[in-house]
Structure 1
Amino acid sequence: MADGQPVVIVSYDPEWPRQFEAEQAALEQVLAPWLEGGVHHVGSTSIPGLAAKPVLDMIAGVRQLETARAAFAPLAELGYVYAPHRPRTHHFVKPAEPWSAHTHHLHLTEPGSDLWVERLAFRDALRADPVLAAEYESLKLDLARGAAAGYTIAKRPFVTRVLAAAGIEIPAASPR
């Protein structure tokens, strides 16, 4: 979401898992030469019952980040646009513009990377604990009423707390 754009949170859509499965099949086929660790549904749309921004967040493990650059062209054929914004990952969005219209986010990273471990652990913690998921949903709904620019940053203390409970420490300077 770009600065100035409102944060739109919608009720859980039971179609999200099916949409992910269809996208996962296409991505696994296109990414097969580089894939290691699979394609996973992460983010709020991966948590049953959780209100979320209507964006499928996915993470795909690749053997080597540098050699996975060769996947950029095949991903473009699926409508993904490279949108670099953090080190040690290749980030893609679909469709390209406007930012508020994105329906898919895809991160290519190496299995075991900080991003890989954190995204999967956070998802798994919320899936395992409905009370924790409800707390996160309440926070997201409250934050969505404020400025879009601070939405992700304002979620960090909650994410950090959940990951710490899972034994994962995020460095203070981490751009997560």
Structure 2
Amino acid sequence: MKVRELKIRKVVLNVDPKIVISEYKEHWALEYQSEKEKIIDALGSKIIGIEHFGSTSIKGMAAKPLIDIMLSVNELTGVETFIEPLAQIGYEYVPKLDFPTRWFFRKGLWRAGTHHLHVYQHNGVEWQQNLMFRNFMQSNLDAANEYMQLKKELSIKFSNDRVSYTEGKDKFIKSIIFEASKNN
């Protein structure tokens, strides 16, 4: 489906494309490494850190086949200068006014993207929480399996509703961040 068709489908039918959870793929880590190099080549010293996060960064985790990458910068002011160099490597800036402490870029079609790029202030709350969640899940197999099961259940229950799917994960994610923060 093309972007226009996906947007029309969302407006007319008020449904998102089906949420697909894939079994873990070894190539996700390689895909991240390849994309990381492209981003560093495009932005250079403007970035402080770059990390693979989200479910595709957790070995063995079933996930939507979408590579989540986060960048850190000293200050979010000036990130607008990233729009053009990132566009050159296929990323589209997507304004998210309800998230003022994050800049968001997508690669791929609307609701069918291949990569999401999140830009945060280095060592800001969101940066730290994303790392805590990822690191906790990578080292706690029981929690990772519980999360994987939750995601599979939510993808069935909310198969065409990304907002409800995401909201359904929220309580679990917050509990893991709380647990992980006790160890930091």
TM-score (norm 1): 0.89
Partner of 1:22: 34
Q: Which runs of 5+ in 1 are unaligned?
A: 169-176
- Cα offset, 1:5, TM superposition: 2.2
Partner of 1:88: 101
- Cα offset, 1:115, TM superposition: 1.4
Separation in 2, partners of 1:54, 1:13 = 9
The answer to whether structure 1 residue 142 and structure 2 residue 142 are counterparts is no
Separation in 1, partners of 2:177, 2:105 = 24
Partner of 1:114: 125
Separation in 1, partners of 2:41, 2:75 = 17
Separation in 1, partners of 2:136, 2:51 = 15
The answer to whether structure 1 residue 158 and structure 2 residue 158 are counterparts is no
- Cα offset, 1:124, TM superposition: 0.3
Q: Which among 21, 32, 35 is matched to residue 47 of structure 2?
A: 35
Q: Indicate the SS of the match to 1:92.
A: strand
Q: Does structure 2 retain, via aligned residues, the 8 Å contact 1:140–1:155? A: yes
- In the TM superposition, 1:56-95 aligns within 5 A as 56-85=67-96, 86-95=99-108
Q: Which runs of 5+ in 2 are unaligned?
A: 1-5
Separation in 2, partners of 1:108, 1:27 = 12
| Aligned residue pair count | 165
Separation in 2, partners of 1:98, 1:61 = 24
Q: Does structure 1 retain, via aligned residues, the 8 Å contact 2:52–2:68? A: yes
CA RMSD across the alignment? 1.5
Report percent identity of matched pairs. Answer: 32
Separation in 2, partners of 1:167, 1:18 = 29
Q: Indicate the SS of the match to 2:45.
A: coil
Partner of 2:3: none
When Rg is computed on C-alpha atoms for both structures, the one with the higher figure is 2
Separation in 2, partners of 1:166, 1:57 = 20
Structure (1 or 2) with the greater helix fraction: 2
Q: Which among 164, 167, 171 is matched to residue 181 of structure 2?
A: 167
Q: Does structure 1 retain, via aligned residues, the 8 Å contact 2:132–2:181? A: no
TM-score (norm 2): 0.85
- Cα offset, 1:80, TM superposition: 0.3
